[in-house]
Amino acid sequence: MTTRTDTLVIGAGAAGLFCALRWAEHGSVTLVEAGPDAGNPLPRWGLYDYVLPEAHYYRYTDSGTGQAIPQGRGLGGGSTVNSAAALRGQPWCYDGWQVPGWSWADCLEGFRAIESDQQYPDAAYHGADGLIPITRLEPGPLDAAVFDWCGTAGYPPADDHNAPGALGYGVWTTNRRDGGRWGTWAGVVPAARRAGVRICPDTAAGRLVFDGTRCTGADVTGPDGPERITAGRVIVCAGAYGSPALLMRSGIGPEPALARLGAEPVSVLPGVGANLMDHPWCLLDVDVTDPALIEARPVSGALLRYELDAARGEHVEAEIFPWQTRPYDLASPPTRVSFTAALMAPRSRGRFELTPAGPELHVGHLAADADAADMAEIVATTAELLESLAKDGLITIGEDAWWRPGGDLAAACRATVSSYHHHSGTCRMGDPGAPGTVVGPDLAVLGTSGLSVADSSVMPVIPRANTNLASMMIGFRSGDAIPA
Ligand SMILES: Cc1cc2nc3c(=O)[nH]c(=O)nc-3n(C[C@H](O)[C@H](O)[C@H](O)COP(=O)(O)OP(=O)(O)OC[C@H]3O[C@@H](n4cnc5c(N)ncnc54)[C@H](O)[C@@H]3O)c2cc1C
């Protein structure tokens, strides 16, 4: 069967749904999504649970460490399975991209357009009527104790973590309505349907179709079998792993990878799959002495952000925050709290490869010595906070806690580090003449026409923030960046 659409969007995640909505302003849009649509109205678990049915995940493995790497699948993509932490990143993140049209001033317009900020709708840098509600929840007792320590330690308060340049302590900014996660499934699907977007769940794009180097559509497989969808333009929004995988299967990528896959080269681009980035985190698990200390705010309470050695001028940003482990690991006791120490400006880079046997991920957390040293510093600061909370009788720390003094803390961090789930950068946007660039500032895939990528994979450098809002912003701004 063959169908025709003006714009074909592949992947209905954080970026893809905003992308489809914007392109509906210009004609017909078909949006294919490999995973399920769990229904409308949304089931309660879709809003409030942190362990979702298995159909909503891809399960990757880091080939270097054997660690599990989950990714979102189904309407909303990662924004359906995530924790709804909603940070934008700092102005210098986007200015540092040095890509025309993607400065902080440019991206801010996108951030404002997608949000309706519940506490600061009138601030010049916030939006009041976008589809994603941004809110700050009441802190619980453990959060209040963390704030006390932060104040005593000399960190400034930050009432709004999404104010440009905000650093310090305050409650998380989150994308929630009535306490439930409000990602692109809840927030954008209804608007996209009203705008006439044809949304096809359970439909995976196998490969892109070309006439020479012009992309003319994709071969997909859905509930009714194979279908060829021809399109005036194709926009790939399949995420940090799905997008490079689809490009490589379709003949766009490094020459050796295409040869291994037996894919006829359409555009040889060594950057596809390279530049893989993620924020590394180390978890310091403790127990509260009274479950009530954490159950008032199991997730999205206190957040401390600061820069390591600000004098270096490199904006090496850290996050420290507690969360109750049980919502994510149902076997955990209700007293268990994971304190996160996260490095938000990592230098380490990994790579994604596609082989005939399947995907290979080499994330490379803390591969750079400077990252390991920085992580040790963040963990040491987190440990100081924990010792203070223990002294006040709020938590207990295991005798054998991995971060306690006595060894090489950087090595201990390397042995413990895992993923904050912010995979990005595998189809890097940049100067078309620079090595490693996959898409230009207009999101067009180099060496092709009619084909763009618009999602977390185009980020040239990972922002100092959780990547959901930035991915939505990229999807939204694809409506401006790609010539209609
Ligand atoms: C467990 C977890 C927790 C997270 N927590 C947070 C958080 O609290 N805050 C935050 O800011 N960020 C968080 N993130 C990261 C954030 O969700 C992602 O950065 C964001 O979703 C990336 O958006 P995207 O559009 O690039 O990709 P995705 O949202 O992953 O969307 C890609 C979509 O494409 C589909 N797809 C892939 N291949 C194909 C194909 N061949 N055909 C059709 N469809 C395809 C996928 O099924 C998926 O739905 C988390 C991520 C995970 C996995």
Residues in contact with 179: Cβ distance below 8 Å, sequence separation at least 6, in sequence order: 48, 137
Q: What is the pLDDT of residues 142-169, one digit of tens each?
A: 999 999 999 999 999 999 999 999 999 9
Q: Which of 364, 384, 277, 374 is nearest to 316 (CA)?
A: 374
Question: For the chain, what percent of residues have pLDDT higher than 90?
Answer: 96
pLDDT digits (tens, 9 = 90+) for 211-231: 999 999 999 999 999 999 999
- Is the distance from CB of 348 to CB of 367 less than 8 angstroms? yes
Closest CA to 175 of 34, 54, 78: 78
- Is the pLDDT reported for residue 93 higher than 80? yes
Q: Is 455 in the pocket of ligand 1 (CB under 6 A)?
A: yes
CA of 83 to the centre of ligand 1 (A): 12
* Residue 237, ligand 1, Cβ within 6 A: yes
pLDDT tops 80 at residue 311:
no
Q: Mutation test of ligand 1: which of 172, 467, 473 has the most ligand atoms closer than 8 Å to its C-beta?
A: 467
Q: What is the pLDDT of residues 191-210, one digit of tens each?
A: 999 999 999 999 999 999 99
88 lines ligand 1 (CB under 6 A): no
Report the share of the chain in percent with pLDDT over 70.
100
How far is Cα 94 from Cα 275, in angstroms, rounded to an integer?
A: 17
> What's the pLDDT band for 475 if we cut at 50, 70, 90?
very high
What digits encode the pLDDT tens for the residues 165-185?
999 999 999 999 999 999 999
For the Cβ of 468 lying below 6 angstroms from any atom of ligand 1, the answer is: yes
Higher pLDDT, 122 or 405: 122
Comparing 165-179, 305-319, 406-420, the range with the smallest average pLDDT is: 305-319
Tell me the pTM.
0.98
CB 12 near ligand 1, within 6 Å: yes
Q: Is the CB of 325 under 6 A from ligand 1?
A: no
Q: What is the mean pLDDT of the chain?
A: 97
b vs e for 235-255, b when ≥16 Cβ sit within 10 Å of the residue's Cβ? bbbbbbbbbbbbbbbbbbbbe
Mean pLDDT score, 70-94: 98
Domains and CATH numbers, the chain: 2-89+95-131+180-275+422-481 (3.50.50.60), 138-171+280-345+366-416 (3.30.410.40)
Token pair of 189, please? 């699907």
pLDDT at 40: 81
Instruction: Measure 394 CA to ligand 1 centroid, in angstroms.
Output: 36
State the distance from the centre of ligand 1 to the C-alpha of 328, rounded, in angstroms.
Answer: 17
Q: What is the pLDDT of residue 1?
A: 82
- pLDDT tier, 462 (very low <50, low <70, confident <90, very high otherwise): very high
473 Cα: distance to centroid of ligand 1 (angstroms): 13
Residue whose CA lies nearest to ligand 1 atom number 16:
468
